[in-house]
Structures are given as structure tokens and as C-alpha cells.
Structure 1
């Protein structure tokens, strides 16, 4: 794939992703508020708790997805259709077996969950909510899950993202209408299932029309995805620090406390999804480049890491400044539990900076296929997270689970930086640490300066307006300093966008 063509696909991915996130954030803010007002914190905590459990159910995939994506980068870069067919044939067979296990796991959860969670919600309501959400995953394993990895390896994330955007709009509009009409939570959940099944149908039709050469009946190449079990360890670790907190809070502190945690997580996850979208715009290029040009990969990685960290710190700095004023408005009138806590934003910012900021190093490990070599590190991360969270939650409540996640991330983020630089890139990690320190200093200076500025934030309009202003200014600071301190990366960015600027200039004439 040519550099310009890859850049075009990267731009399409980023633009489609950001459009999706703008719509998702706008609708995603409204719907949880309606759920809270309509059903209360207990139902909101129930929905979020079940969602987190289904995230754990993805472990049944056994790491096949991560191994498949890593295996596809090379054949896609070489346009080796035969190898692509063999890899996807192996993935398809694993997914069909997983779909059967997943189906029975959903049934098991529907039976067990109402028995172990103390709640006033009718058991049949819980069962139906679980079944409606779980059947989406079953269909994914049987019909189109494996095709997503081919699109991702080719840099066509924007295809899935555009479909997701349409489904998000339709799903949330349906939910809003149903909630305003006073519909039961079961009916609301049914709308989610219907539109997600339609999305799978569209992806299947796209693959059938555009990839006529695809043949899943060839001899499967199981060796290409032989690291699936090693990839599973990493997948498990990732799920632990993203999803254990809600489950521990549900059991130890109750659904209402879990609802508080979930509301903060909702907004931070929106930022994380935006970062993931921006990252996905270039990761496929990194994956293909790694297989054909290691020196070029290192230069591209430096550029990616430099500006990605700037984006991470920009978005979370703005989020920290405006999260509490927004939360006060968002939860106004909800009196069954207090959602405003000045310490939670600090802990969430620390957790999410460590989680998102380690992304470039983590991508390098995944692209290189070093799943087996680093699996014990993921096991240690999991042990730190669970043990610290379980101990601290009894002494510090909601803060305790955050302490556990941050402790695990402090270890694993540093481990990823050291491993990716020393073992894979064969160099000192000081470049990465210097980037972290520079951005952290800027963040502290900006927060110190903003503490002396008094803003009127009594309406959503005022919050959005000032957040946009702060975003522009803060982004200018972070990206400006990065361009001054990372001159080679700045030159590379300029070179990548020069053809686009020239094209636009010619059109202007």
C-alpha cells in the first residue's frame, strides 16, 4: 500500500470516527440521563453491570481476534489473498465453536444473576434484559465477527464506523422515544438488539459484494493464529483493569455506588473511544510497515507516539476541568445517591492517562506478535489490580477500586514502555519517558493556571462553549510544544499532509 493511499484511509478512519463520537457523545449523554430519571439508579446500575459482564464474556473468544489481526498485517501488506483466506478460515471455525459456548453462557447468566444480586427489580425483567443483550454477541460469533479483522487490517475501519454511526443514531432515537413514552426497560433493550443485528447484516452484505475472492472453505492455517491462547492473557488483563471495578462495587457496595462509578466511566470512555478512533487511523499502517520496513516503522512510531500523547493529555486536561460542572447539571434532581465528588475526577484522570498513554507501546507489542513473551506481565498486572482493589474497597469504598486499577497501570504502563523500546525497537526508552514528562508538566501548569480563572457554568450551553474554547487553546499548547521538541516528527507530519494540501490548493484555483 502506498504512503498516500494509506494516509487517505487513515484520514477517512479518523474523520469517520470523530463524526461517530460526536454523535455518540450527544446521544449517549441524553439516554443515560433519561434512564436515570425514568428508572432510577438501581436499573441504571443493573444495565451497566450486565454490560460489564458481557465484556468479560468476550474472553470466550480465546484471543483469536488479536492473533488474527496480527497475522493478517503481513499478508495484507503483500496482497497475499491465499494466506488471508487460510487465516480467516481458521478464525471462522474457532468463532463458530465459541458461538455455541457463548450461547450457553448467556443462558447461564440469565439464570444465576437474579439469584446472586440483591435488588428490587423483578427477576423476569433481569432475565429478559440479559437475553436480549446476549443474543447480539451470539450472532456476532456465528456470522460476521471475523470479517471485522480483515477490514481493520486493510485500514477500512471507516466502513464499520459509518455503519456504527447509523446504528447509534437509530438505536438511541428509538430508546429516547420509548423512554419518553414510558416503555419498560425490556422494550428499550430490545431496540438495541434489533438495530445491532441489522448492522451485522449490512457488514455481511458488504463483504459478500466487495470480497468475492474470499473463501472460508480452504484448508485453515491454524498455525498463523497459534498465539491465540497467549493473546488471551493480554485480553484478560485488559478486561480486568477496564471492567473489574464495577463488578466489585456491585457486590461490595451495591448497585447505586456502581451507578456513580458508571456515570464517570461513561464520560471518560467517550474520550477513550475518541482516542482509540484516532489511533486506529494509523495502527493499520504501523502493522503493515512493521512487516516490510522496520527502520521506517521506528520513525513512524515516534511520530505517532509524540502526537498521540499530545492528544491524550489535551483531551483529559479539558475533561478534568469540566467534568464536575457537567456532572452537577447532568445528575440534578437525582437524590437517591450523591454523584458529585471532587476526588473522583483526580483518580479517573490518573487512571485514564496511564491506560490511554501506554497505547503506542502496547500496539508495538501486539504488532510484533510478542503475546507469549509478555503474558506473565499481564498476569502480574491482573493480580495487582484485583488484590489491591479487593483490599482497598473495604476501607475506601469507590476510591479503593480506583487505587487498585491505578496501581496495576503504574506497573504495566512502565513495563510496556521498557519492553517495546528495549526488546522490539532495540533502543533506550528515554525518548518515551521524556515525552511523558513534558506533557505531564504542561498538564500541571495548565491546571494551575485554570484554577485562577472563574467561569459561569450554569447551563449545558455555557459548558460546551467554554469547553470548546479551552480545547482549542490547550490543544495549541500541547501540539505546539510537541512540534517544537519533536522536530523529526513534525517534518514527517508535514510531509504526509503536503500532498493533501497541494490537492486542496489546486482545487481552490
Structure 2
């Protein structure tokens, strides 16, 4: 049953990432060509500022999910409702503070961007984009926590897919009809708020005992303050680039960073779908203290995950610049074709992504307090180095700053997980990473040294992408199979049994 839920979560998450990636390719291109690079940068910049405001969530979500694993496993309905009642209580309190902060941001943000865009447009967009954050705190947060902890994230993903597609169709229609960017963002954002209808209905049917009017069990989510430290650190690490580029380099450079980040974020989200599907499963295993099962699942998870990383980033490294040439054709207000920036994005993407399995296990185990100081160190390294390098190297400097922090934290996470949770040697993980890096180099070598891709348009790029993908997946799959045949057969047998029994 656990494996079935993992596969359902995985497939639904992959579908969501594919849809999200497609939308993230379509809309920015339309924004750049219709409203200009500054407007595209404006939207991305506002979203990152709003992400910083979400620190007032205070780690409630992660702490609540970790706290729910045991009562859900034991079917303790009283404790489940107590935790969800506490979650709802803290979310509403956070929502009030978030609303006030959004109002303040709407007043002061136009001063940050200066005269690059209309101040009134900036104010309206802050308020509109801030609504989704308020919505989560006041209405849907408790449902998201419950379904995630109960290994039913696929329900959330499927609802999001439907609403994202509908919202995008509406946005494209309004852009075609010549509406302003404020109207486009407003109506497409409102449509996404319909998730409350579907989530509330599903929970009411499947969890007939659901009741948040009971006494809040605030003690059960006492780890929220430690989870908050991780949340703040993550915001600094992953959102600092947009903030620094907005302040030091301007909205046009934000747009450049956003377009590249769009591609690599899609890759990361696709690969992360594996970890998202496994999070609750690991939580369930850890609660039951099944050490052998944990080792088996994690070893298989790492094997598949690192192979997926090798495949995705090899294809991206080969195809990114031809894609950028086609994607930004006709946009001449800023230069988007930057080979060094593309190369740094690949390196930073790999350095960040290979730590995801270890980070997933730490979150599932609820080791927020034990690792919070390490997260703080990473955030400090990232912030200080990014501020220094952006002064001299521009956008590339921000990426180098991120690489400095990843060099520390990725190694730290792998070592911590091996020593404190798995109780084994980190060499198992290091071998998998090294093996797949070598396979990635072998797959990329022909295109780096011998084969030159002659891409003239979207059609030839698609053909090239298919050929590159088939070549890369063959090298990565065969390489892993020959170098670790026992593990690959075990994974394949596991998948076949699950499909047969579904």
C-alpha cells in the first residue's frame, strides 16, 4: 500500500511539474514580448519578496506534517484533530500578520524598483499576488498538511494541475485581447483560489472524523520554531538572488535570471518529484522503526534519484543555449544569450539537487532542531558571498555565492543523514553520485567535443532534444545497470510487483 501511494504521488507530481514547466515557458515569453522584460522581471521579483514574508508561517506546516505521521499510522483520530486544530490556529494568526506585511510591501516596493515600471502597477501586483499567501493561511493550509502527511499529495497535485491549466488559458486569452498585465494577473490568480472547493469536499468525504473545533494540541508541533529556522535559511538561500539582483542590477537583469532559472527550476522540480513522493513514506517507516526497510527504500531511492539527476542535467547542459536563442528571439531590450551564466546554472543546479535525498530524510525524521545551526551557517555563507560577488560579477556573482553555500551544506547533509539517521557510511551515497557524474560526462562528451547541433527553430530543437534524451538515458541506464545490477533488478522487480498488484 505504501509503494502504491508513492507511485501515485510520484506520477501526479511529475504531471504537475510538466504542466508547471510548460506554463512557466509560455507566460514569461508572452510577458516579455507583450509588456517588456522589466514587467516580466517585476512579477518574478514580487513573488520572491512575498516568499520572504512567508517566514511568519513559523515552520507550522513542516512541524505539523512530521507530528501527524504517528497518529495517522495509529489512526488516533483525537490526536489528529488536535494537531490540525493547532495547525489551523497558528495558520490564522500567521495569516493576519502576513496580510499586514503585504500591505506594507505594496506601499514600499514601488520605491525599490524606482521608475523602471509604473508605481501603481507595482502596488496592484503586490496586492494581487499576495492574496494566494493569505488564502493558504486562512483557508487551505490545514487540508494541505493533512493530505501530505497521509501520503495523499496526489490529490493536491491533481487539483493544482486542473486549476493551473484553466488559469493559464484565461491569462493567454486576456493577453491576446490586449488587457493590461494587472488585469491578466488578477483574473488568472482568482481562478487558482477555487482549490478550497475541491480540497474541502475531498477531506469531508474521506475524513469524516475531521474536526478542527477541538482543543488545539500545540505541544505536538513544538518543533515549529526549529522548523522556522530552516524555513528562514531556505528563503535566504533560494530567494536571495532575486532580491539582490532587484536592488543592485535592476528588473531587466531580474528577467534574465528568471528566464534561466525557469528552465533549471523546472528540472529541479521534476527531479524533486521523486523526493516529494517519498517524504511521507519515509515518515511512516521511521515511525514504525523499521530500520531494514528504511535502508532498502533509501538505497533504491538514491539510485533512481541520482540517475534522474544525471539524465536531466546532462540534457539541459547540452540544450540550454539553443533553447535560449529560440525562446528569446525578438526580445532585444536585454541580452539573454550568456554561456557562462548557463554553465554556472548547471553547476549550481547539480550541487543543490544532489542533497535532496538527504534533506528529504531529515524532514521525514523531523530533525529540525538537530540541524538548525547548520542551516544558519549555509544561509550566512550564501548571503555574504552573494553580496560580495554581485558587486563585481553581476548575475553570475549571485550564482557563485550560492555555489559557495552549497559546497558546504550538501556535504554536511549527506554526512549527517548517514551518521545520525541511517547509521551507515556516507560512501554509499558518494559512490552513487560519482558514478552518475562519470556517466553524465560520457553522455555529454560527444556533443562537447565532436557533434555540433545545428538548430534553426523550435522544430529542429525538439528533434535534437529527443535524440539527446534517448542517447543520455541509454548511457545513464546501462551504466547504472552494469555497475550496480543487483540494485537495479531489485528496483525493477519492486515496480513490476506494484503495477501488477494495482
TM-score, normalising length: structure 2: 0.96
User: 2:65 maps to what in 1?
Assistant: 69
User: 1:268 maps to what in 2?
Assistant: 264
User: 2:18 maps to what in 1?
Assistant: 22
Q: How does 1:464-503 map to 2 (within 5 A)?
A: 464-500=462-498, 502=500
Question: What CA distance in whole angstroms lies between the structure 2 residues aligned with 1:492 and 1:286?
Answer: 18
CA contact (8 A) 1:307 1:482 kept: no
CA contact (8 A) 1:114 1:126 kept: yes
Higher deviation after alignment, 319-328 or 187-196:
187-196
User: 2:158 maps to what in 1?
Assistant: 162
1:398 paired residue among 389, 395, 401: 395
How far apart are residue 363 of structure 1 and its match?
1.2
Q: How does 1:85-484 map to 2 (within 5 A)?
A: 85-292=81-288, 293-451=290-448, 452-484=450-482
Higher deviation after alignment, 97-106 or 447-456:
447-456
How far apart are residue 391 of structure 1 and its match?
0.6
Question: What CA distance in whole angstroms lies between the structure 1 residues aligned with 2:80 and 2:347?
Answer: 40
C-alpha change, 1:73 and 1:479, in structure 2 (3 Å) is farther
How far apart are residue 488 of structure 1 and its match?
4.6
Higher deviation after alignment, 447-456 or 107-116:
447-456
CA contact (8 A) 1:306 1:486 kept: no
Alignment deviations for residues 80-127 of structure 1 (CA, whole Å, 9 cap, x no partner): 222211111111100010010011011010001012222342222111
User: 1:507 maps to what in 2?
Assistant: none
Q: Which runs of 5+ in 2 are unaligned?
A: none
TM-score, normalising length: structure 1: 0.95
CA contact (8 A) 1:20 1:161 kept: yes
| Residues matched between the structures, number | 500
Question: What CA distance in whole angstroms lies between the structure 2 residues aligned with 1:440 and 1:264?
Answer: 22
CA contact (8 A) 1:63 1:235 kept: yes
Question: What CA distance in whole angstroms lies between the structure 2 residues aligned with 1:497 and 1:446?
Answer: 26
Question: What CA distance in whole angstroms lies between the structure 1 residues aligned with 2:361 and 2:270?
Answer: 20
Query: What is the DSSP-based 3-state SS (H/G/I as helix, E as strand, rest coil) of the residue aligned with 1:343?
Result: helix
Question: What CA distance in whole angstroms lies between the structure 2 residues aligned with 1:208 and 1:490?
Answer: 41
Backbone CA RMSD of aligned residues: 1.5
How far apart are residue 466 of structure 1 and its match?
2.0
Question: What CA distance in whole angstroms lies between the structure 2 residues aligned with 1:400 and 1:296?
Answer: 43
How far apart are residue 223 of structure 1 and its match?
1.8
CA contact (8 A) 2:275 2:360 kept: no
How far apart are residue 164 of structure 1 and its match?
0.7
CA contact (8 A) 1:324 1:340 kept: yes
User: 2:40 maps to what in 1?
Assistant: 44
Question: What CA distance in whole angstroms lies between the structure 1 residues aligned with 2:484 and 2:62?
Answer: 31
Query: What is the DSSP-based 3-state SS (H/G/I as helix, E as strand, rest coil) of the residue aligned with 2:194?
Result: helix
Query: What is the DSSP-based 3-state SS (H/G/I as helix, E as strand, rest coil) of the residue aligned with 1:162?
Result: helix
How far apart are residue 458 of structure 1 and its match?
1.3
C-alpha change, 1:487 and 1:150, in structure 2 (3 Å) is farther
Question: What CA distance in whole angstroms lies between the structure 2 residues aligned with 1:59 and 1:459?
Answer: 43
Question: What CA distance in whole angstroms lies between the structure 1 residues aligned with 2:281 and 2:393?
Answer: 44
